[in-house]
Amino acid sequence: MSSVVLVTGCTTGGIGYSLCEEFARQGCKVYATSRRVETIAESSFPNIERLALDVTDDESVNKAIEHIIEKEGKLDIVVNNAGAIAGGALLDQTMDNVQKSLDLNVVSILRVSKAAMPHMANRRSGLIINIGSIVGEIPTPWNGLYCASKAAVHSMSQVLAMECQPYNVKVLHVAPGAIKSNIANNGTTQFSLPENSLWKDYLPDMIRRIHASQTSGSLPNEAFAQAVVGKALKRSNSFYNYLTLGGQAFVFSVLKWLPRLTVLRLMWKTYSKKA
């Protein structure tokens, strides 16, 4: 029987949409979700079904998962992909934006996993995939709220792996580097510099940082999806797996072994060449 997969954050042009198509290509039944279904383009794969799901709303999450269980009788894989960057200086972020970003990038993972876990535990089978980031381990200036949220995701993935192990529900944490997607365009649209910002002279650096993942060295999201889906569908005896790939992923892996002060100085020098 083919695997039933739920993917969050499947707006057209993003990595979630590519993950849906690759899972479908491998024969899975896929539920592509987004807060607004119209943001998900129709796919040529008949085994992809679009479904409204707002990861920041308990009722929406529970309703979507119950729909899947009623229709399919099971849920094998959950991909917690929904998220957004939060460009700008950390202390320029409004408290409202802080709460919304953490709810979308962090709390939503617990919300979706909490709703899915009882069904997986009942069958003693399941896989939770959390999409983190390399900046969750090596933070950079001008996207600090996103870095902090992905650091939380990294930690939560490991804790979930330990605590879900008794029910044979496994966790795959993915830490992408630079992946070609629509995340930078969305980040630019949502970014604004406060008039009284202490860091207004660094505005060009902030804009450059927002678009840092969309360079010639970025990995196409289709290639990213192939690697993640391949890892997800490969049988593993380990209750926790980690995958990092994409532009700068190898460099950031090396940086984890260097003295942290050295790394912070390097990150500041790299991302703060103000005009």
CATH numbers and ranges of domains, the chain: 4-271 (3.40.50.720)
Beta strands at 179-180 and 48-52: parallel, antiparallel or unpaired? unpaired
Rounded average pLDDT over 165-194: 85
Element (H, E) at 25: helix 15-25
pLDDT at 187 over 70: no
Percentage of the residues of the chain whose pLDDT score is greater than 70: 96
pLDDT at 107 over 80: yes
- pTM value is 0.95
Q: What is the pLDDT of residue 189?
A: 66
Q: What is the pLDDT of residue 274?
A: 62
Q: What is the pLDDT of residue 216?
A: 77
Number of Cβ within 10 Å of residue 251's Cβ equals 11
Rounded average pLDDT over 95-118: 98
With cut-offs at 50, 70 and 90, classify the pLDDT of residue 227.
very high
Using the Cα atoms of residue 21, residue 216, residue 153 and residue 166 in order, give the sign of their dihedral.
positive
Q: Which of 29, 150, 170, 180 is catalytic?
A: 150
Rounded average pLDDT over 206-225: 91
146 is catalytic: yes
Q: What is the pLDDT of residue 177?
A: 95
Q: What span, in angstroms and rounded, lies between the C-alpha atoms of 72 and 234? A: 22
Average pLDDT, the chain: 95
Q: What is the pLDDT of residue 214?
A: 85
pLDDT at 260 over 90: yes
Q: What span, in angstroms and rounded, lies between the C-alpha atoms of 148 and 106? A: 10
167 is catalytic: no
Task: Name, in order, each residue with C-beta under 8 angstroms of 101's C-beta and a sequence gap of 6 or more.
Answer: 84, 86, 93, 145, 146, 149
pLDDT at 136 over 60: yes
CB of 221 closer than 8 Å to CB of 151: no
Q: What span, in angstroms and rounded, lies between the C-alpha atoms of 161 and 170? A: 6
Q: What span, in angstroms and rounded, lies between the C-alpha atoms of 6 and 30? A: 6
Number of Cβ within 10 Å of residue 86's Cβ equals 26
pLDDT in tens, 228-247: 999 999 988 999 999 999 99
Q: What span, in angstroms and rounded, lies between the C-alpha atoms of 127 and 143? A: 29
Rounded average pLDDT over 188-203: 88
Q: What is the pLDDT of residue 188?
A: 59
Q: At 81, give phi and psi (nearest 5°).
A: -110, -25
With cut-offs at 50, 70 and 90, classify the pLDDT of residue 169.
very high
CB of 5 closer than 8 Å to CB of 16: no
CB of 22 closer than 8 Å to CB of 129: no
Rounded average pLDDT over 160-184: 93
Q: Which of 17, 29, 31, 146 is catalytic?
A: 146
51, β-bridge pairs = 33
